[in-house]
Amino acid sequence: MSNFISLILGVLFSVGLSVSGMINPAKVIGFLDIFRDWDYRLILVMAAAVGVNLLLFPLILKGRPKLVKNFNLSLKKNIDSHLILGAILFGVGWGIAGICPGPGIVNLSRFEGQSITFILSMSVGMYLCSFVKSK
C-alpha cells in the first residue's frame, strides 16, 4: 500500500514540477537572472508550495502519520560548514544547467542524452561526496 501511494505521490509531484515550469532549464535560468531580464514567475511556485505546507504541516504533525508509526524528520539543527558549502556547490550547479534533482529525474522521461547524462553525473557527485565524507 505504501509503495503504491508513494508511486502516485511521485506522479503528482512530477505533474507539479511540469505544470509549474520547473522542468524547463531556460525558465530556471531566467528566474535566477535577477540582475538582467528577471522572470519572477518561479518564485510563485515556491510561494504556493511553501504556503500549502505552512498551512498543512502543523496540522499533520499534531497527529500521527496514517500508514507508518512515526514521522521521519531530520533532527539536525546546527548550521555547519557542510550545510553552507553543500548549498553553495548545489547552487552553482543549478545555475550552470538550470536543473535541480526533481526536474532532472522527471526529465529522464524525455529519453535524451543530456537528461540521462545529468542524472548519471549527479549520482557520481553524490557517491563522491559520500566517499569524501567517509574519509
Partner 1 sequence: MNSNIYPLIGGVILGLSSSLMLWLLGQITGISGIYYNALNFKNGSWRFFFIIGLILGGGLIKTIWPELFNFNIFSNYYEIVIAGLLVGFGTKLGNGCTSGHGVCGLGRLSVRSLIATLVFMSAGIMTVFIRGSL
Task: Give the residue with the Cβ less far from partner 1, 73 or 135.
Answer: 73
Q: How far apart are CA 40 and CA 43, in angstroms?
A: 6
Task: Give the residue with the Cβ less far from partner 1, 72 or 135.
Answer: 72
Least distance CB 1 / partner 1 (angstroms): 9
> In this structure, how many other beta carbons lie within 10 angstroms of the beta carbon of residue 87?
10
Least distance CB 135 / partner 1 (angstroms): 13
In the DSSP assignment, the letter for residue 110 is: G
> In this structure, how many other beta carbons lie within 10 angstroms of the beta carbon of residue 23?
23
Task: Give the residue with the Cβ less far from partner 1, 20 or 135.
Answer: 20
Cell output for 74: 531530520
Least distance CB 97 / partner 1 (angstroms): 4
Least distance CB 37 / partner 1 (angstroms): 10
| Cα 55–chain centre separation | 20
Nearest by Cα to 102 from 32, 16, 34, 26:
16
